[in-house]
Amino acid sequence: MKLTLVIIMVCFLSYHNEATLQVGFYRDKCPFAEAIIKDEVTKSFLKDQGIAPGITRLQFHDCFVRGCDGSILIDSTPTNQAEKDGPPNGITVRGFNVLDNAKARIEAVCNGVVSCADILAYATRDSVVLTKGLYWDVPAGRRDGRISRASETSDIPTAFFNLDQITQSFAKKGLTQSDMVALSGAHTIGRSHCFSFTDRLYRFDTKMMQDPNLNPYYAQFLKLKCPRDVHGILNQTLVVFMNQSPLLMDQSYYGNLLKHAGLFMSDQVLLDSQKTAQQAAIYAANGLIWQADFVKAMIKMSQIQVLTGEQGEIRANCRVINP
């Protein structure tokens, strides 16, 4: 009964969003679009389950730079380094081929109708569902941006932010601190490159090597997974899972925070204020509350600075702006 009420509430919120986007936007324009996207995401997930957190991360990083306009999908050129190649993206982002395949199939049946930005939004929802998260109706009608600059990826929150920094970063995009705590739970799935957090293990500050706020047993485990060589150099390709259930959208992320086993500094700092710590504790105790709040925050985030109407374009190829 509780799950049914949560799903009804989430669907209701999906329908009552900013007037610029609409649930069912492609119902008459390209009725098979959502099914095609779901099929491509599912096929890729069955081959590599890590594709789900990869796609989810793509939407986060897209929306924080110029809004949710699909600009992270644009390839660099000899005269422009695009978002996907700027920090903290580069080798850490994946899922582009899934979106390319969905776009190609959609273009074959609905030429010039469905934007890459919307394909990414639908694919993110499908990725969350595949990892046992809640379903939501995706408000659509986004248009694609024509600008993608690596120099602008500084808007993406980093793994080294303190609580004030990460709160301000989300606030710049119209998201509250509560939204931030809920969205941070996406770190319950996927993996991370070791270089994103090894400062917490080997060179925390001038006084100590290891972050004193990191569970020492967890720190030892991470050092085994992310060792330095005899010269103190870290292999840049090494990765670790975000937590013990990297393929499930569950509340274990918040439980880990309470044990001081958050992977990133920006994760663990959620316990640095009474308000955010209380929210994390509620989520750790009740995963259904977190999932419902996560969906509400995702719907809100997916509408950051969207292009609609005659703005932007509908890219024929998600990697290249139209001539």
Q: Are strands 191-193 and 22-23 parallel, antiparallel or unpaired?
A: unpaired
- To the question of whether residue 302 is assigned a binding role by annotation, the answer is no
- To the question of whether residue 188 is assigned a binding role by annotation, the answer is yes
> CA-to-CA distance for 201 and 34, rounded, in angstroms?
43
- To the question of whether residue 62 is assigned a binding role by annotation, the answer is yes
- To the question of whether residue 90 is assigned a binding role by annotation, the answer is no
What are the Cα distances from residue 19, in Å, to 16, 137, 142?
A: 8, 15, 12
Q: Which residues are registered as beta bridge partners of 193?
A: 239
For residue 31, what are the contacts with CB-CB under 8 A and spacing of at least 6? none
- To the question of whether residue 115 is assigned a binding role by annotation, the answer is no
Angle at 190 between CA 178 and CA 212, to 5 degrees: 65
DSSP SS3 for 144: strand
Q: List the structure tokens of 18.
A: 């900013």
What are the Cα distances from residue 137, in Å, to 38, 157, 287?
A: 13, 27, 20
Q: Residue holding tokens 């098979």?
A: 32
Q: Which residues are registered as beta bridge partners of 317?
A: 320
> CA-to-CA distance for 139 and 121, rounded, in angstroms?
9
- To the question of whether residue 70 is assigned a binding role by annotation, the answer is no
61 is catalytic: yes
- To the question of whether residue 69 is assigned a binding role by annotation, the answer is yes
> CA-to-CA distance for 106 and 98, rounded, in angstroms?
12
Kindly name the residue from 61, 193, 231, 260 that is annotated as catalytic.
Answer: 61
- To the question of whether residue 139 is assigned a binding role by annotation, the answer is no
Q: List the structure tokens of 263.
A: 């992977």
For residue 139, what are the contacts with CB-CB under 8 A and spacing of at least 6? 14, 17, 18, 21, 22, 23, 25, 299, 302, 303
> CA-to-CA distance for 211 and 228, rounded, in angstroms?
17
What is the number of alpha carbons within 13 Å of residue 247 lying toward its C-beta? 7
Residues with a catalytic annotation lie at 61
As annotated, the binding site for substrate includes 157
As annotated, the binding site for heme b includes 187
As annotated, the binding site for Ca(2+) includes 62, 65, 67, 69, 71, 83, 188, 250
As annotated, the binding site includes 62, 65, 67, 69, 71, 83, 157, 187-188, 250
